[in-house]
Amino acid sequence: EIVLTQSPGTLSLSPGERATLSCRASQSLLSNFLAWYQQKPGQAPRLLIYGASSRATGIPDRFSGSGSGTDFTLTISRLEPEDFALYYCQQYGSSLLTFGGGTKVEIK
């Protein structure tokens, strides 16, 4: 099983600031098969990024993904009020799909 470790657990920032979220895999991901999701309370996860760096349809360009191998990053260049939420990474490079434990981005 590929274990995904997200850090930090909580990120306290103000609107307009830059957020940098990390996702580390326990082994190298095949072809950078990593996605990022945003989840708000009482809602389903929403796809932000797939293939480590490709933005999903309709996702603002303030969201960007980067990384390869075992280390991946989601960056929100300037936080908008609607961006304060939980963020999860997911790997789909193995037949046992796994998710990270999440990073909560909260208002400072």
Partner 1 sequence: QVRLVQSGAEVKRPGASVKVSCKASGYTFTNHALHWVRQAPGQRLEWMGWINAGTGNTKYSQNLEGRVTITRDTYASTAYMELSSLRSEDTAVYFCAIAVAGLYSWFDPWGQGTLVTVSS
> Which residues contact partner 1 (rule: CB under 8 A)?
33, 35, 37, 43-47, 50-51, 56, 88, 90, 92-102
CA pair distance 72, 83, nearest whole angstrom: 19
Query: Residue 16 CB, nearest distance to partner 1 (Å)?
Result: 28
Length reported for the chain: 108
Nearer to partner 1, 63 or 88 (CB): 88
CA pair distance 5, 10, nearest whole angstrom: 13
Nearer to partner 1, 67 or 79 (CB): 67
Decide: 2 and 26 in contact? Cβ < 8 Å.
yes
Query: Residue 60 CB, nearest distance to partner 1 (Å)?
Result: 16
Query: Residue 45 CB, nearest distance to partner 1 (Å)?
Result: 6
Nearer to partner 1, 12 or 54 (CB): 54
One-letter amino acid at 34 equals L
- Radius of gyration in angstroms for the set of CA atoms belonging to the chain, rounded to a whole number: 13
